[in-house]
Amino acid sequence: MIWKLLVGLVVLLVLAGLWVRIAPLPMDRLSQKPGPMEPGVHPKMGGIKIVRPLDGLPPDAIDRLREIAAKTPRTERVGTGDDPATFVTRSKLWGFPDIALIWVEDDALHVHSHLVFGQGDMGVNAAKVTRWFDQLEAKEQPAG
């Protein structure tokens, strides 16, 4: 009896793992530009939104941030548009997708990163976007 229960549980876990990898991404969330729009770090349920004024960033910050995002492990760019540029990063073990949007609006660089499935992301999106900005700022430093 317990053996059948364990086999059933394993089958359910495998099916759930397959579902998060093959389920279609919500198309409306691949192009939305959610608020808030004012500068700052805005934690959200299941993600984060960071807005930084362009005057405090290098002139090519948007292009460099897109490059940094594209080089993130398990990340792919979705579509070819730049308004917003959309990236999907999948978790290492299960392949859960997180969507990140990068765009410029009202003289500010906007980055919104959020999970697709579930309620909370345990700070994964905030950590990822913080690393992106850290890398962007590290490239700003003059050599030597």
Residue 21 in domain: no
DSSP sequence for 21-88 = HHSPP-GGGGT---S--SSEEEEETTEEEEEEEGGGS-TTHHHHHHHHHHTSTTEEEESS--TTEEEE
Q: State the residue range of the domain holding 104.
A: 27-140
Region 36-48 average pLDDT: 94
Question: At a CB cut-off of 8 Å and minimum separation 6, what does 135 contact?
Answer: 68
14 occurs within a structural domain = no
16 falls within a domain? no
Upstream peptide bond of 36 is cis (omega within 30 degrees of 0) = yes
Express each pLDDT in 26-40 by its tens digit.
777 788 899 999 999
Question: Model pTM?
Answer: 0.85
The pLDDT of residue 6 is 85
pLDDT at 144: 42
The CATH number that applies at residue 99 is 3.30.310
Residue 20 forms part of a structural domain: no
Split into its structural domains, the chain has a count of 1
pLDDT band (50, 70, 90) for residue 62: very high
**Residues 108, 135: Cα–Cα separation, whole Å:** 18
